[in-house]
Structure 1
Amino acid sequence: MNTKKAFPFKLVDNPFPLVIVDSTLTIQECSVETLAFFEIDDSAQPMHLKELIGESYKIFLESTENKKKQIETISIFSKTEKQRWIRTACYPDITNSHFHIYFDDVSDEISQYELSMRAKRIAKIGSWKVDLVKNTLIWSDITREIHEVPNDFVPDLKMAINFYKEGKHRDKINNAVSACMEMAKPFDLELIIVTAKGREKWVRAIGEAEVIQGEVCGFQGVFQDIDKIKREQLRYEILNNRMRAAIEGANIGIWDWDIEKNDLIWDENMFTIFGIDESQFKAAYEAWESVVHPDDKENAVEEVQMALDGIKEFDTEFRAIKGCGSIAYILGRAIVFRDEEGNPLRMVGINQDVTKARIKDIRARRLLEVMEKQNVKLTNFAHVVSHNIRSSSSNISMLSGMLLDNTSNDRTLEFIEMINKSAEKLEETISDLNEIVKIQTTDSLDLYQIEVRSVLESVIESINALVVESKAEIRIDIDRSLRVWGIKPYLTSIFLNLLTNSIKYRSPDRKLLVNIGVEHSDNQTVIAFNDNGIGIDLKKNGQHLFGMYKTFHSNKDAKGIGLYIANNQMEALDGRIEVKSSVGQGSTFYLHFKK
Structure 2
Amino acid sequence: MNNPYNLVRKYDIMLKDFQTISTSFLVKQLPTATLFVDMKLRVVYASDKLISLFCDEKVNFVGQSLFTIFPELDSKWETVLKECLTGKSSPMGVQSFTDAEGKEKFYEWSNASWYDSDENIIGAIIQINDISLAIESDVALDKANILLKQQSELSKIGIWEYDLQKKTVYWCAMTKTIHEVALDYVPDIDKAIDFYKKGHSRNAISMAVFEATDKGRPWSLKLQIVTAKGNEKWVLAAGKPIFEKGKIARIMGTFQDINEEVVAEIKTKDNAKLLKTLIDHLPLNVFIKDRDSKKILVNKSECDYLGVANANELIGKTDFDVYPFETAKLSRDEDLQILETLKPILGKESISVKKDGSETVFLSSKIPLLDEDGHATGIVGISLDISDLKQKEQELRNLINVTSLQNKKLINFAHIVSHNLRSHSANFSMLLDFLVHEKDEEEKVKIVNMLTQASDNLLETLENLNEVVTLSTNTQAKKEKVNLHTKISEIQQNLSEIIQNNKLKIINKVSQNIDIRIVPAYLDSILMNFITNGVKYKHPDREPQLEFSTEVIKDYTVLSISDNGIGIDLEKYGSKLFGMYKTFHTNKDSRGIGLYITKNQVEAMHGKIEVESELGEGTKFKVFFK
TM over 0.5: no
The two structures have a TM-score, normalised by structure 2, of 0.34
Greater RCO, CA 8 A, separation 6+: 1
The two structures have a TM-score, normalised by structure 1, of 0.35
Q: Is the radius of gyration larger for structure 1 or structure 2? A: 2
